[in-house]
Amino acid sequence: MSEQHSNSGSNFKFYSGLVLIIAGAVVCLNMFLLAVGIPIFAIGAALVFISKKSVLTKVITVLTPVILWFAVFKLMERIIIHAKSEIVVTVPDEFSGQVRIVYGEESGMSPQETDNKMQLEVPANGVLIIKPSIKAGIQDVTYSFKTKNGVPFSFYDMSKIGDQSVKRPAVFYEGTISPETQLDYLYIGFQVLRNESDQVANANAKNTLTDSLVTVSRAY
């Protein structure tokens, strides 16, 4: 009777420990809660090890969630890194003015990728139409601007446009825009200012040209 009671108590410790181990591992998936998750996991592991299960069962019970935690964490890390797109934009060597990247167009070009970075080559007219979609918002995409000769541009948002400490050449991010036309397209706008004398263009300066190029692109 006492042996049965002892086994029952041992099983309770084992399964209670298993529940705490799993709970601790799940909590630890949030890096900000490691201080909570690790003690929960440790208490669970201690309960498992003082149970009367075999050593092999104890080791497997404790190590399996650890291995799975690392696997899930690495998978989440890869997903987050992949979600953060990186785009390299190349402009003509003497280009200055507005750049519009119209995206999500079925008839647009399919850009190449190098080292998981989308390569976009802007033509002399400053309007590029591409097939893939781009996540809206500067926080989701890392842009690198350069000339065909490889000269890099500093990259800023439009709040820096009046900052005299910003050195040229510089690229200013206008935002993701849906122009007020019947064509219903989206583009990401940039202002490329090469020299100190370059002026900021009116936001609608390229509307007519962009509308025309989108219309022509959709006709094919």
Q: Residue 77: what pLDDT?
A: 66
Residue type, 100: R
Residue among 69, 62, 60 at smallest CA distance from 45: 62
pLDDT for res 138: 60
Which residue, 112, 29, 38, is CA-closest to 71? 29
For residue 97, what pLDDT is reported? 92
List the structure tokens of 145: 């601007």
Residues of the chain with pLDDT under 70: 1-10, 77-84, 136-140
pLDDT digits (tens, 9 = 90+) for 62-73: 999 999 988 887
From CA 54, how far away is CA 200, in angstroms rounded? 74
pLDDT of residue 14: 92
**Dist CA 53 CA 10 (whole Å):** 8
The amino acid present at 131, given as its one-letter code, is K
Strand order in the sheet with 85-91: 112-114, 117-121, 85-91, 141-147
Give the pLDDT confidence of 129-156 residue by residue, as tens digits. Answer: 999 988 766 666 788 899 988 888 989 9
